[in-house]
Structure 1
């Protein structure tokens, strides 16, 4: 599996916009040089601020060469501070981007500390702030870190990432800094919108969503595999629509030929097991899971090590059932809001409602497939079911369908949160 994103570094012309790029101490600091380059290529003016710890990982001269500006790193710079330079600097940018953002700095910001130049700038500014966390997987999952992130989100900070994968410490999990192209996509899209502070606001602002999309491939031998006709178009459109409503979106994708929606973190998978592992990891800190992927139901018991030759008139393959991703995630996270998809060729409502109950889903979106419907097309039609209701969407372009579905997800998610809060209040009253 690998993480990827839209490769175009210029996500909208933003000439003359000012970005204050701040680096904290971590091995991921080396990626910020590429981030600075992308901002500059998009027409932005960039000023870099580094913590003392960041300077231990990458030199200030690198960023001075890239930006043409001296790097700021101290509150005690006599030349800069003679005229209260840190206040001037806090007023200067159109946006502040902290990438990488360490657990320590995020904790200090969440609690209002101002003991170095970076934290003082954050406290003294009214500009939109984007943070790209980077830390060990256990540090990221720690309750203290998650509480700090909730605090920052509630105050309007825009959190980009983190991604999931191999880490410098040798462990694997969530906590990798978002790739430079992903950070650039979010920030530049916000600046290009004309209002960076509001660009990502919406009913799902501060919420984290995971979307699975596309087919999976189950190998038969080194050159052949079992798969299906899914193009991934509907899932990618859903990821884009959820992002437009303010959610931080991780897209767990099977093999498709599609560009990653701007601002969406993408993890590429091949097999059903790959997708299960990536989805479970991504959902560890998620609020919503939307399973649009067409996951293979079966895989080969034995995969041939060499290409199978055409020697016999018939060939038998022994298959075994793959784990059901939504059921597995539900067993691990009983409170997660989960939306399933049901692609059917018969008895649409009956089969969809059966899956809704059996897998303990909050919503299920059902569509007819086969005979030229849904798969590998630009249009689709859904019927969405939940415990006490249903809604028909389309037929329409898949992006329009995704927009209506995302709106319904936001509405039903809010209702579920209100119900849970009322139940908790009632229990406490007793």
Structure 2
């Protein structure tokens, strides 16, 4: 499997502590797969045997990580092909992103000749948290359900640092220049991966928009996308980064909508939405319960923007709500139960709504007024979730007044 190979060769392993090759050696020391080091100038590194060539390894090698100067990469890739290595991650830079298109095309030609699948060049390597970290990233995040695909290796490092204990990843793939395998290919890989629950993407460009749409439409897992290169200058900058020109943003926006991908605008949104999708899955037939009219308006706007279906309340449901809610509540979805709502009112409204079979999920908004027993409302939400086993998303808006409730949930 390309994201969980049984064995990995590090070609360009080094004992120079300031080099990528040394970072790869250190990061793979705790790998749960077989790791082989390759460098003709060393017999061993960090106490581990070093082979002159990948062809000298007397065992099967399923994947290779190449970190050698660009001009040497074609010969190394040819050796990988002769060794029958299936997957090659090329960390080395200096190809299409630097104007050397012919050199990159040569890699593709060699790979096709030997049936090798290339990731990169100009990529970060392979990271499967808890299994293998064959990258030069400074940290390995905890294992989790987010499969992250990025066209920037450096931003992966930054996100890994930001994530640390906050997010868990099933796999992190930096596709770099995408000479052969691209974002769309890895959407298919992660969609088939049992550990992956949601697919998060940092995208600058894609090769084939139609294929992207078809793959995302077929995907069983949510796909969340952060697109850069929206401006003219940003698109030109993308060209110097990965050697690919990002086309007009409106084309991408239309593709995302057609495919059913969730588009976000910041890295914080990318991972916040991904965590939400990981925890509750895709949410449909949702009701919003709030004590703030403004919250109701914002929830409506965001629901439409992100394709969340806010279900219309049926007449019999409204009749039941009429019996327990104050006269001037909204009587529609989003359900504004008025600013003076206490935990008792939240309980009555949520209990009626979540009992309805046509209601599949809820979004609960709480703003702290003087009479709002915020902590008790958090306990109400937890009890309702336990009682009905349906997804509930919460937004407790505020500072110190809502801190304990958020921690409780």
Larger CA Rg, structure 1 vs 2: 2
Greater helix percent: which structure? 2
Q: TM-score, normalised by structure 2?
A: 0.35
| Relative contact order, higher structure (CA 8 A, sep 6+) | 1
